[in-house]
Amino acid sequence: MSLKRTKNTIKDIQRHAFLNACLLATVVILSVMLFSVTVISVSLKKGMGNMRNRLGADIMLVPKGEREKAENMLLEGSRSNFYFDGAVYEKVQSIDGISDSTSQCFLKSLSADCCSSEVQIVFFDPETDFVVGPWIETEYKQKLSGDAVIVGSDIVSEDGRIKLFGQEYAIASQMARTGTALDSSVYFSTDAKSELLKNAEEKGSFLTEEQKKGDILSSIFINVDGSHTAEQIIDSAHKTIGDIFDVVYPKKLHESLSGSLGKITGVVNVISLSLGILLVAILLIINSIIMKGRKSEIALLRVLGHRKKDLIRKLLSEIGLISLAGALGGSFLGALIVIPFGRYIGKSLDMPYLGPGIASVLLQILLIVGLVILIVFLSSVFFIIHTTNIEPYLALRKEE
């Protein structure tokens, strides 16, 4: 469309300012809704996918009575302290039918110097680990030594170092975002455990009797090999280490969470669908009113010699311009609300939430602009064709 024609179209739109403003407002609301719903559900699904990867072990052994805490820790990343004796791990390793096993030890830190709230400290064994590793964005080639750490994505550090209990540690790598409070954890190699506990005690942090022992671990993650079942492994573990543990099935936890995500998206879909239908109905009504009001104008233009095809094109370009502006403005507004508040949305839904990247936001804006223009076009094309088809004589006579 040439610039002159665009200017003329804008003038035509301004001539029917009130109704066109109603149309624009409806289009903006429709686009805000479409954009927000798609971004939120895509981000929740992405968070959930990430969660499945994180819950990468078949079974997780935790001390007896701590199952609920451990489940909360996996799902919401809430911080916990619970411990086994360190010797348990070696006994578990000897059980037949385990393909991978690794242990972790959690330490709830009371406010680190780096941060204004407490962080969870996790000790893991880089040699056997298969739970933390997949989350590390950049390779950490050097062996994780005592004074280097891996940090969750939310830990902010300007100089690549983090201070905990008075001691500075180099950040070897940063994990990808998981969308839960695990993002604010600091991961140490198991070798650093005794020194860190000593520092913590010196700095006046309260340590429980168990923590003071040093040789402790909090959970054992196990993958079962193909020829055994999880139940067999649990049976053997009961025989080997006694009845001192509870079992968490991380993968089953994921299923239950997916279920509640399904419910949330179901409700959101029903609400947005009914709202969408309502908005389309409003669009139809506005379009019919606009075209009714312009009947005599169209008839006069036809009497003056304008072709039907040209008139249809003129009306469609007006509608197209309004819907383009509305869709762009609506998507922008939606992005302005949904993207900065993403973390707040995830937190209030109690779900892992991973916001979209710039590329996917742009793609979604494009898709929504296309979809909205299509909806507005479909809702107006009937009225436009109908109005241009009325005989000028009839149209003008009725106006008398």
Task: Extract the tokens encoding 373.
Answer: 């223009």
Binding mask 124-163 for another protein (x = CB under 8 A): ------------------------------xxx-------
Which region, judged by CB under 8 A, interacts with another protein, from 31-39, 108-116, 192-200, 359-367?
A: 108-116
Whose Cβ is closer to another protein: residue 3's or residue 304's? 3
Q: How far apart are the first and last CA of the chain?
A: 36
Q: Is 218 in the site for another protein (CB under 8 A)?
A: no
Q: Is 25 in the site for another protein (CB under 8 A)?
A: no
Q: Pick from 40, 22, 19: which is nearest to 30 by CA?
A: 22
Binding another protein (rule: CB under 8 A), the pick from 347, 371, 377, 381 is 347
- Nearest approach, Cβ of residue 66 and another protein (Å): 23
Q: Is 72 in the site for another protein (CB under 8 A)?
A: no
Whose Cβ is closer to another protein: residue 155's or residue 375's? 155
Q: Is 109 in the site for another protein (CB under 8 A)?
A: no
**Residue 83 burial (CB < 10 Å; 0-12/13-18/19+)?**
buried
Alpha-carbon distance of 41 to 48, in angstroms, equals 10
- Nearest approach, Cβ of residue 48 and another protein (Å): 19
Alpha-carbon distance of 175 to 184, in angstroms, equals 10
Q: Is 207 in the site for another protein (CB under 8 A)?
A: no
Q: Is 184 in the site for another protein (CB under 8 A)?
A: yes
Q: Is 185 in the site for another protein (CB under 8 A)?
A: no
Q: Which residues contact 194 (CB under 8 A, 6 or more apart)?
A: 214
Q: Is 171 in the site for another protein (CB under 8 A)?
A: no
Q: How many residues bind another protein (CB under 8 A)?
A: 18
Alpha-carbon distance of 314 to 308, in angstroms, equals 10
Backbone angles phi, psi at 177, to 5 degrees: -70, 135
Alpha-carbon distance of 123 to 117, in angstroms, equals 19
Going by their DSSP bridges, the two strands 167-174 and 161-164 should be labelled as antiparallel
- Binding interface with another protein (CB under 8 A): 114-117, 119, 154-156, 181, 183-184, 336-337, 340-341, 343-344, 347
